[in-house]
Structure 1
Amino acid sequence: MIIFLCLALMLSLSTAEEITVAAASNLQFALEEVKNNFTQETQWGVKTVYGSTGKLAAQIKSGAPFDIFVAASTAEPESLYTNGLTNGAPRIFTYGLLVLWTLQDADLSEGMAVLKNPRFKKIALPDPKLAPYGKAAVTALQKEGLYEVLKTKLIFGDNITQTAQYIVSGNADIGFNAKSIVLSGPMQGKGHWVEVDSTLYTPIRQGVVQLKYGAEQHPEASKRFLEYLFSKNAGEIFKKYGYRL
């Protein structure tokens, strides 16, 4: 009897559905914790694919087999919804925060004004055409009257991850990134960072949608994962990584 139950359990685990979640790069550490908890609670597996929100949206429009799209904005999910590629309108599950970050021994207490210091010759940020955090950084620079002054120093990463690599490797002297990245385990304690005044950029509303593919191929598992993002457990993880709910 015990052997039979063990075999039945092994069979159920081996045949459990696995969904694929396309997610913005700023979520790479927080979402890994969320998905692991989800799998422990439900036995459904979750494969994550990270990239810039813009590039992931383009892949979805080209037919990529993703079940859920977890974006760094609501604009791209809304566009997918308008084009009939989602099962419902996007929902905001969290708000992201922008930081200024350097590995140099620098005092960042004056905020973005520090960027005028000639020691900072290369300033990294995500590509504003692809990444909402990059768009937020450009908006903040413009509102502070710094964009035209500094634009020749700007270098662009495809996404949050590549931008972080520029900063950590020293290819950039300083840069803009997501608060969730500087609070992640691998990055904690590296360099100095300060939050960018959130009144200087449009709130980074991070939206999620169940895609048509997920609704058709893995309806229950993908819907449960979407709902799990709004659970108390997931919320605590997001807050730990600096997101606002």
Structure 2
Amino acid sequence: MLQRCLLACMAFLLAANAWADTLLVAAGAGYRRPVMQLLEDFTQSSGIRAEASFGNMKQVETRARQNPDIALLIGDRAFLEPMGLAERFQHLGKGQLVLVAARGQAIASLDELREPRFKRIALPDRTKAVYGNAAATCLERLGLAQPLQGRLLEVATVPQVGAYVAKGEVDAGFVNRTEALALQGRAGASIDAPQDCYAPIELSVGVLQGRTDGAAARAFLDYLASPAARRVLERHGM
């Protein structure tokens, strides 16, 4: 009886130790699908539990400042760098702004947004979300901001834009390529925005100052540099 009890206690301690070094990251909501896949693959290959918190980049910054357990941030470097929280950055891929039309809508160029059939056009928050800023910049540079004034609907995040498009609550919406791929079969035509109409989007992981002493963070950064992680990102359009 004593031997069985000791064995049970040892098993419990081993299991607890396996999960003791937990990784917590915060990431832009538009990257939820690839980040969740990366964390799942990392956990399966390393045995280290990895969790994520998602939101627009302002929410990501707030959480990182309030929660000292968050070791890494994932998002556009142009948003991450001004936060002043990261000691260095690791490049992950490039983002692409995409316009997705609602089911049954065809579109071949962004200039077609001038047409009356596009009554409501969604974009993420231009001040808090990477792709919202990119969409607003693109419309301005293409001379579409003024003609579309009154038809633009700003929501918090890329996934929310995708939900509006999929439900037909808007006629089109600006998302990233990851969300556009996820909307296939639930939306209409999609078109890449010209890459010269917005600043390049560099998906990066920010290594937070003084928070990467743990083995979990170091192991995840090594994983992100691996071919396995590269394949995950490519499947999600990056």
Taking structure 2 as the reference length, the TM-score comes to 0.88
Q: Which moved more, 1:163-172 or 1:34-43?
A: 163-172
In structure 2, the residue matched to 1:209 is: 206
Distance 2:43 2:12 in 1: 15
- Rate the CA distance shift 1:166–1:75 in 2: closer, same or farther, 3 A: same
1:199 maps to a residue whose letter is: D
CA RMSD of aligned residues (A): 2.3
1:98 maps to a residue whose letter is: L
Instruction: Describe how 1:16-55 pairs up with structure 2 within 5 A.
Output: 16=19, 17-55=21-59
2:173 maps to a residue whose letter is: G
2:16 maps to a residue whose letter is: S
SS, match of residue 94 in structure 1: strand
Distance 1:63 1:32 in 2: 20
Instruction: Describe how 1:159-198 pairs up with structure 2 within 5 A.
Output: 159-184=157-182, 187-192=183-188, 193-198=190-195
Runs of 4+ in structure 1 off by over 4 angstroms are: 4-10
| Contact kept in structure 2, 1:22 and 1:56, CA below 8 Å | yes
| Contact kept in structure 2, 1:78 and 1:89, CA below 8 Å | no
Identity of aligned residues (%): 26
In structure 2, the residue matched to 1:75 is: 78
Q: Deviations over 1:171-200 (max 9, x none)?
A: 21111001101223xx33222212112122
Residue 223 (structure 2) pairs with residue 228 (structure 1): yes
Distance 1:24 1:127 in 2: 12
Larger Rg over CA atoms: 2
Indicate which of 154, 157, 160 corresponds to 1:156: 154
Distance 1:69 1:43 in 2: 21
Superposition deviation, residue 5 in structure 1: 8.9
Instruction: Describe how 1:82-97 pairs up with structure 2 within 5 A.
Output: 82=84, 85-86=85-86, 88-97=87-96
- Rate the CA distance shift 1:188–1:107 in 2: closer, same or farther, 3 A: closer
Paired residue total: 232
Distance 2:11 2:180 in 1: 40
SS, match of residue 138 in structure 2: helix
Distance 2:215 2:161 in 1: 36
Indicate which of 211, 231, 240 corresponds to 2:235: 240
Superposition deviation, residue 102 in structure 1: 1.7
Taking structure 1 as the reference length, the TM-score comes to 0.86
- Structure 1: gaps (5+ residues): none
SS, match of residue 146 in structure 2: helix
Distance 2:12 2:125 in 1: 45
SS, match of residue 203 in structure 2: strand
Distance 2:180 2:8 in 1: 43
- Structure 2: gaps (5+ residues): 1-5
Distance 1:69 1:160 in 2: 17
Superposition deviation, residue 64 in structure 1: 5.5
